[in-house]
Amino acid sequence: MEAEIRSFGLASAAEFLEDRILYRSLQPLQPGLPGLEACIAELGLPAGRTPRKHETDYARVVAHILQVAQRLRLPGQPIRSLIYIGDSEMLDKTAFANLCQVTGWRGLAFIGDETSDPPQTRQQPHPPGELFLANRWSALAEFDRYCARSGCPVDAQTAAVIDLDKTILGARRRNAQSIDRARLAAMQQALAQIIGPGFDPAQFELVYRTFNQAAFHPFTSDNQDYLAYICLVVLAGWTSLAGLQQAVLQGQLLSFEQLIQQVEGGKSRLPAGIAAANAAANAGAIAEAHAQVYACVLAGDPTPFKAFRRWEYTVTAAAMGSLPQDTPLPALLDGEITLTQEVRHMALEWGERDALVFGLSDKPDEASLPTPELAAQGWQPLHRTPTHAVGRQ
């Protein structure tokens, strides 16, 4: 009989990762590991930009950092195999395949979620590696046995790379909605602070829901920073929702970069749609927000809306470990971002076998790490923030 999902008390990802994790900037938190600039110089990669998770250069940087981490802890025992744990058949399997390709390591990847269907798993070749797909996070134990049977046991020469978002934290289709809710709340709070009393929550939600669709991904690049900025310029009255929709759908606006250049050219009109009494007071804040995003976009920064992302950190961290231990499970999964117990259990076991257990996150550093001021108050990085571990084992 399948075990019931339950709470296993408070824990954090640092229990099995320590500081072996890379957030979006690819700047290691563990002392002694090379930073992105050093990796770029060592590997001969293009300078001036941070590779994204789906790119081959991202895999080259991650592989280099993993190899240095392995040399530091176990000299003379190079990595020979890769175990990858994630939740996305698109992004994670691409990152996994790229890692296998650039390193030549034997690789197996577990892609998990939690559905209401009967438990099932399937194996799928994904050259140069292999995928193990499951609709239960508890299938990780079966995956571990499958690795051993396939001649790829998790041991001291294995890199076990685990995705943070919706895998370690906020397991997909079990608790992931809490991560999405925190990000949306942070975006709303950031824009409300910038726009002031003229901020309209209902209009914000309409604009966000409209552009947070696959049909607009060619325009938004599915980038939440871009979406936050789009909401800002519509709510500030620079353009209308209908007008922007029409411009995109008719091909008059082909990219976010084109939009922000247009706003830059007409930035004196930014607060036009806010009530007159409010416009003067908040024109400065709106203009400053635009200037900061515009400068970051020009610099090639994939996370240009820093104010939004800093709100995201505080809202996300506040949603971890926030409920009493005796909170009923449905309320716990709905109201808190939880740690995935099955991932925790397996990662701890792999650590006992001397595998290199390492975390990856595409979440921006600004949304993952406290500012120095917050750190002085006791706030911690997301991977060190205690929350309830929930799962079947």
Considering the domain boundaries, does residue 333 fall inside one?
A: no
Shared-domain flag, residues 245 and 362: no
pLDDT of residue 80: 97
Are both 152 and 42 inside the same structural domain?
A: yes
Question: 199 and 97, same structural domain?
Answer: no
Q: Is residue 219 one of the residues assigned to a domain? A: yes
**Structural domain of residue 204, as residue ranges?**
176-311
The DSSP element (H or E) to which 224 belongs, if any, is helix 224-235
What is the helix, strand, coil percentage profile of the chain, to 5?
Answer: 50, 15, 35
Residue 323 located in a structural domain: no
Q: Domain check: are 121 and 193 in the same one?
A: no
Residues 273 and 187 in one domain: yes
The reply to whether 1 falls in a domain is no
The domain tally of the chain equals 2
CA proximity to 199, closest of 242, 243, 241, 236: 236
The pTM score is: 0.94
Residue 279 confidence (pLDDT): 52
Same-domain pairing of 19 and 153:
yes
Same domain, 253 and 200: yes
194-229 burial string, b = 16+ CB within 10 Å, else e? Answer: bbbebbeeeebeebbebbbeeebeebbbebbbbbbb
Q: Is 383 inside any structural domain?
A: yes
Same domain, 32 and 168: yes
Condensed to tens digits (0 to 9), the pLDDT of residues 319-334 reads 999 999 999 999 999 9
Q: Select from 293, 311, 329 the last residue of a domain.
A: 311
Tokens of 232: 């800002």
- Over 90: is that where the pLDDT of 280 sits? no
Q: Which tokens sit at 334?
A: 């709905």
Is the pLDDT at 278 greater than 90? The verdict is no
pLDDT tens digits, residue range 251-263? Answer: 999 999 999 999 9
Assign 71 a pLDDT band (cuts: 50, 70, 90). very high
Is residue 277's pLDDT more than 80?
Answer: no
Q: Say if residue 29 is in the same domain as residue 169.
A: yes
Share of the chain above pLDDT 70, in %: 97
Distances (CA, A) of 49 to 25, 30, 57, 296: 10, 22, 11, 11
